[in-house]
Amino acid sequence: GIRPIAAFGTDGCRSHTAALLRDFDPGRYYDAMKLRRVDEGGRLGLVSTRLAIGDAALPTNTDEVGIALGTATSGVHSTVQHLHKLATGGPTAVPAMGFANTIANAAASLCSIEFGLRGPNVTIGQKQASALSAIAFAMAGLRQGRAAAFVCGGMDDFEERFFTVHDRMRVLSPVGGGEEASRPFDARRNGFVLGAGGHMLVLETGEFAARRGVKPYGEVLGVGAGASACALGAWPTEPSGIVGTMRAAMADAGVEPSDIDVVFASANSTPVLDRVESQAIAEVFGPLGVPVVSIKGAVGEYGASGGAALMAALLGLAAGMMPPTLGFERPDPACPVDVSPSARSARGRLALINATADGGAQYCLVARAAADPRLEPRA
């Protein structure tokens, strides 16, 4: 999904690529009149939530279903437009009707209103770990009996100013020169590539699913949450926080490291995070002790990427395969993990999914793929 940016100019930038959405047409699902006061993030949230609800045959207009949306960028388009008009034209130049879209929880609220999801409604912003954080919240809500189901996961999109700020902070590839690419765990990695997308799934109790006779893609068995002490905007510099979070998730799931068939890593092509996460995985599973995948060589880095990784894990393991880690070609001795640039056969159905945010927040899920999932959506 990574290619040169065409949506806006990148002249004067160090980086010129991103995994932006292509061929996304919300008008296929909603009337233009309904969409005209909804910004890009809200549209992405509405469509991905609609697809998840349809695929799960989930009831709507009910108190039993809530929504937990993880996002790092909800409202960014409207906020940039709002502030630009305010700065250049004064208060009278800012249309009042657009202000609601600048609020970070606008997308989740729109989804709740559209589908009558009257259960808990929460928006979680944990930077790059936002989606996995939202799924962890939904898991806790189900265990506490606060709802029978959650539509949960992540949504992120970005625009020119957001990209430019990251470029000026020199966190995007090609930091320090070299080839511009997302290369998780590769010896040539030199920064991440921004991505965008909506990845929403339905997490529900077994009872609620059985009531409708639907067949799940898999099961979330355990959740771990933690943090590393590091500077604001920086990646963890030592592995103990990630180690603790992975062990907490496995303890919650009642499994041992030897039970895990694959780790879907948070590695995003940054020199520090990939190395530290590799050290953490090696400490828990042993050097080269478990197959490791990072999908960010294909989809880039964004707050919803953890939701994408969970979906890739469930669908891939159910089909008996592990996705490739695109961009990985030259092993780095500092990253002692079992990574492959090609798809591989899977030996089992148990996955551990990591998400780490700059600033230190960490989440981990243990999930088991179904033996024979609905690989083709019903709606």
Q: What is the pLDDT of residues 27-50, one digit of tens each?
A: 999 998 889 889 999 999 999 999
pLDDT tens column, 221-254:
999 999 999 998 999 999 999 999 999 999 999 9
E-strand spans in 169-300?
A: 197-204, 218-227, 262-264, 291-293
Q: What percent of the chain has pLDDT over 90?
A: 85
pLDDT tens column, 283-318:
999 999 999 999 999 999 999 999 999 999 999 999
Q: ω before 174 within 30° of 0 (cis)? A: yes
Strands 17-18 and 3-4: antiparallel
Q: Please choose, from the candidates 288, 299, 295, 298, the residue with its C-alpha nearest in 3D space to the C-alpha of residue 310.
A: 295
Predicted pLDDT at 177: 60
Strand order in the sheet with 65-70: 121-124, 65-70, 149-156, 197-204
Predicted pLDDT at 33: 86
Predicted pLDDT at 176: 62
Higher pLDDT among residues 376 and 17, named by residue = 17
| Contact indicator for 223, 363 with CB cutoff of 8 Å | yes
Strand order in the sheet with 262-264: 218-227, 361-369, 350-356, 262-264, 291-293, 338-339
3-class secondary structure, 27: helix
pLDDT tens column, 69-103:
999 999 998 999 889 889 999 998 888 878 888 98
pLDDT tens column, 335-370:
999 999 999 999 899 999 999 999 999 999 999 999
Per 3-state DSSP, what percentage of the chain is helix, strand, and coil (rounded to 5)?
Answer: 35, 20, 40
Predicted pLDDT at 246: 98
| pLDDT score of 376 more than 80 | no
Higher pLDDT among residues 371 and 301, named by residue = 301
177 backbone φψ class: left, alpha, beta (φ>0; ψ -120 to 50): left
Q: Which residues contact 154 (CB under 8 A, 6 or more apart)?
A: 69, 70, 71, 130, 131, 134, 198, 199, 200, 302, 303, 304, 305, 306, 307, 308
Q: Please choose, from the candidates 211, 305, 218, the residue with its C-alpha nearest in 3D space to the C-alpha of residue 264.
A: 305
